[in-house]
Structure 1
Amino acid sequence: MEQAIVERSTSRAHVVVLPFPAQGHINPAVQLAKCFTSKGLKVTVATTLSVSKSLETEGGGSLAFEPFSDGCEEDGVAKVLGIERYLERFELYGSKNLCALIEKYNGTEYPVKCLVYDSGITWALHLAKRLSLLGASFFTQTCAVTAIYHHVYHKRLSVPIQGSTVSLPGFPILERRDLPSFVNDVESYPFIFHNIVLNQFSNVNDADFIFFNTFDKLEEGVVDWVAKQWPNKVLTIGPSTPSIYQGKQDDSDKDYGLNVFAQDSSTCMNWLNTKENESVVYVSYGSVADMKKEQMEELAWGLRRSGYNFLWVVRATDQSKLPDKLVEEIAGKGLIVTWCPQLEVLAHRSVGGFLTHCGWNSTLEALALGVPMVAMPQWTDQMTNAKFVQDVWKVGIRTTGNDNGVVGREEIERCVVEVMEGERRVEIKKSLAQWNALAKEAVNEGGSSDKNIEAFAARLL
């Protein structure tokens, strides 16, 4: 990657956007940065050197991308010995080098005025205040998940969870399985729970702005509650998906622009082109979730039993978990790839359903593109997202696992068939159309999310 791509702007207000160095956090941060440029701000996206080596940049437009060292160039993020070690390095080296990146703009016509940082990078706010900048925390998950964590942080919700259900303001009644895994299963994630989940609230009260990748009507009751916790600071700015999928005819913004895993997409797209309309189930579990071998096998045979065509993204590191002779069994009906352009796939005429882990980016993309979901969450915020997908937004069906948490092939078959055909599909498509219209209303000119970004820009200009 070039050391910097600097383009002039009509504005002297300069914002640095700092995403956490993982694809699921990078995507919404870059999309938010594009929104800032549309309001006349100059924006630099700061990416770590260790991540920038594997990034392919497309459609960045007027954005500037600058890499900085997180102290992991030799090891690479994936090779660092655990999340704890990486976060220590990230703060130690990242804070120093990001500071140098920001300070180099002092004395130029574009001094930095604001640092927008992922909510988990709490040291970034300390840095912003030390440099006399405005600081904006960006929560890339839902308001609902943030609210649950906030209740735990302030000890209004005790962990380990007691009882079978939880009642929180602005929420439907939640079963234990509807709670994020970091809350429902604290003992399995002690470091993440204390040092990331709870720590993101340690200094957030000092932030000047608090952004959420959602829109007001999607989580109305919860957004209202969250806004009361931080008066005059909370701004919903989503959904942060490329504008061409939000009803804007902008061919230059049809992808996020930064892809860690980008590869040749011709195989999957050519295969989709041979299939009938809405006849394919797209299956993807994101870039992080680690599915056990038993679950991979049940998923494979469940898809096979459904009778539908399916396109399944399986990371190279997980290929060994697939059943023997599966490729021969699914010849003509299924295609397994290590990567595909998800937005293009979801927008393809042949795709009729999305079997998803319910990561927030994937959920928003399915909403934006009107694709019914089979929700099969694995961990973190996905459980809560799946609850809302089925019971609140009514845009999909959630699978149910056995006592060991494994979703069997019969259950997978049942849910796929239900989503792909019959009355339930008709109901889901109607709900999707309604939410899709509200999402477009929020992000287009004069909508709630658009106004919030406009207000932020006005504060800086």
Structure 2
Amino acid sequence: MIKLSEPIRDSHVAVLAFFPVGAHAGPLLAVTRRLAAAAPSTIFSFFNTARSNASLFSDIDHPENIRVHDVADGVPEGTMPTGSPLEMVELFLEAAPRNFRREMAAAETEVGKKVTSMLTDAFFWFAADMAAEMKATWVAFWAGGANSLCAHLYTDLIRETIGVKDVRMEETLGFIPGMENYRVKDIPEEVVFEDLDSVFPKALYQMSLALPRASAVFISSFEDLEPTLTHNLRSKLKRFLNIAPLTLFSSTSTLVRDPHGCLAWMGKRSPASVAYISFGTVMEPPPAELVAIAQGLESSKVPFVWSLKEKNMVHLPKGFLDRTREQGIVVPWAPQVELLKHEATGVNVTHCGWNSVLESVSAGVPMIGRPILADNRLNGKAVEVVWKVGMMMDNGVFTKEGFEKCLHQVLVHDDGKTMKANAKKLKEKLQEDISRKGSSFENFKVLLHIITN
């Protein structure tokens, strides 16, 4: 049994964050902050792009033993990228190995200590060789759930089993323990359909080959959420750890950033009546679907808080904001965790990104899903079929009538009451898991021991 009070030798941990997707760097920083607080004599050098660092560290203090370092984003000087998420990812990954090596060497000189451990985003498959060269421990963080991690680790088996021609999209992945409820069509495109020689799919494939070399791989989750997959992944990796983020259960305080007054607005609504709508930081549904969402909200009369980027507000139907002024609010940013925990929230309308799903589960709030990319479809399938805490839009597309139907189903119909009850049970399991008797607490101690010794 590892005790948090055990003396920890002075160490230097290099934390390599993945910036282009907002869901990655934030959770990795949250874990780093917790590790740094538990190991005050250990230096944590946090490497990330200047823009991402500015966002992450803008309104929070961080422990003195976290040193923040900027890394180039990979965009060649004098070029003007299109700004598409995939292009930014590919440019970053192409340049990342040399950029991280250079900045880590500078950090070692600055700190006066060699890097003893590397804590990296799992996407950085090259960290396996880096750590071996530096005689450092490598620990990888997977920003999704056990379902998507399993899909990537079984890339070769999946391709061999389902083939590349005449693929039956509705066929299930029953040949992988724990994946019986998932279909071929739910898997990220990179696993099955894309050329493994192109930059991003190749990086993910290389990752699937490298992760078994890591001293540990951990995710933000809890063991009771996907127990069969957890058991499966433990057979594939040296150590596989579920660590539920404690931040999901921090109490709402006056310090919560809420520039548009969402929480005050929520305070005037009935319990479990409001639809909270957000699709993450990377992509939104296309304009026609934004119109369908607006039309469905207006005709259903359901109270709403909609977090929608300002640039996309031009797609809303003419007069929508005026006509629904008393019914709901549309804001460019909202305090999602606090809103989901609010008693007035009745449903989370989401793209089914892993962070959003976990935040809904931690709040006991059912979901309406419209998957957009990456692991979204796998998570959506889990929400609807595995955990039964929500439902997906028909054919994965918002229509006015389809959205109205889903809102009624979740907020009014008996099916919605069942979803709410199932969500409450998962919330209770998660709360138990992060207690001092739960596996997340023990798993965190294991992670701390691996990183700092």
TM-score, normalised to structure 1, is 0.85
CA-to-aligned-CA distance 1:126-155 (integer Å, 9 cap, x gap) = 322222210111111111111112222454
Task: Measure how far apart 1:24 and its partner are.
Answer: 0.5
| 1-structure distance, mates of 2:161, 2:67 | 40
Query: Which range moves more in the overlay, 36-45 or 306-315?
Result: 36-45
Q: Which residue of 1 aligns with 2:13?
A: 15
Task: Measure how far apart 1:213 and its partner are.
Answer: 2.0
5+ long unaligned stretches in structure 1 = 1-8, 256-262
Counterpart contact for 1:77–1:86, Cα < 8 Å = no
3-state DSSP of counterpart to 2:290:
helix
Task: Measure how far apart 1:453 and its partner are.
Answer: 1.7
Q: Which residue of 1 aligns with 2:50?
A: 49
Q: 1:287 to 1:76 in 2, by over 3 A?
A: farther
CA-to-aligned-CA distance 1:429-450 (integer Å, 9 cap, x gap) = 2212221122122222132121
Q: Which of 138, 141, 145 is matched with 1:135 structurally?
A: 138
The residue correspondences of 1:331-370 to structure 2 (distance < 5 A) are 331-370=325-364
5+ long unaligned stretches in structure 2 = 1-6
| 1-structure distance, mates of 2:270, 2:199 | 44
Q: 1:180 to 1:88 in 2, by over 3 A?
A: closer
Counterpart contact for 2:383–2:391, Cα < 8 Å = yes
Root-mean-square deviation (CA), in Å? 2.9
Q: 1:274 to 1:251 in 2, by over 3 A?
A: closer
Q: Does 1:91 align with 2:97?
A: yes
Q: Which residue of 1 aligns with 2:394?
A: 400
Q: Which of 49, 63, 66 is matched with 1:64 structurally?
A: 66
| 2-structure distance, mates of 1:129, 1:104 | 22
3-state DSSP of counterpart to 2:111:
coil
Q: Does 1:385 align with 2:390?
A: no
Task: Measure how far apart 1:343 and its partner are.
Answer: 1.1
TM-score, normalised to structure 2, is 0.86
Q: Which of 422, 427, 430 is matched with 2:421 structurally?
A: 430
3-state DSSP of counterpart to 2:391:
strand
| 1-structure distance, mates of 2:294, 2:253 | 36
| 2-structure distance, mates of 1:38, 1:435 | 28
The residue correspondences of 1:314-329 to structure 2 (distance < 5 A) are 314-329=308-323
3-state DSSP of counterpart to 1:104:
helix
Q: Which of 112, 117, 121 is matched with 1:114 structurally?
A: 117
Q: Give 2:386's aligned amino acid.
A: V
Q: Which residue of 2 aligns with 1:34?
A: 33
3-state DSSP of counterpart to 1:68:
strand
Q: Which residue of 2 aligns with 1:457?
A: 448
| 2-structure distance, mates of 1:251, 1:11 | 35
Q: Which of 275, 289, 298 is matched with 1:295 structurally?
A: 289
Q: Which of 173, 177, 181 is matched with 2:181 structurally?
A: 173
Q: Which residue of 2 aligns with 1:194?
A: 201
Q: 1:59 to 1:427 in 2, by over 3 A?
A: farther
Counterpart contact for 1:310–1:333, Cα < 8 Å = yes
CA-to-aligned-CA distance 1:243-292 (integer Å, 9 cap, x gap) = 534xxx7979x98xxxxxxx752332332233222221000000012421
Q: Which residue of 2 aligns with 1:221?
A: 228
Q: Give 2:71's aligned amino acid.
A: S
Task: Measure how far apart 1:25 and its partner are.
Answer: 0.5
Q: Give 1:213's aligned amino acid.
A: S
Task: Measure how far apart 1:216 and its partner are.
Answer: 1.4
Counterpart contact for 1:84–1:191, Cα < 8 Å = no
Q: 1:99 to 1:77 in 2, by over 3 A?
A: farther
Q: Give 1:234's aligned amino acid.
A: F
Task: Measure how far apart 1:72 and its partner are.
Answer: 5.3
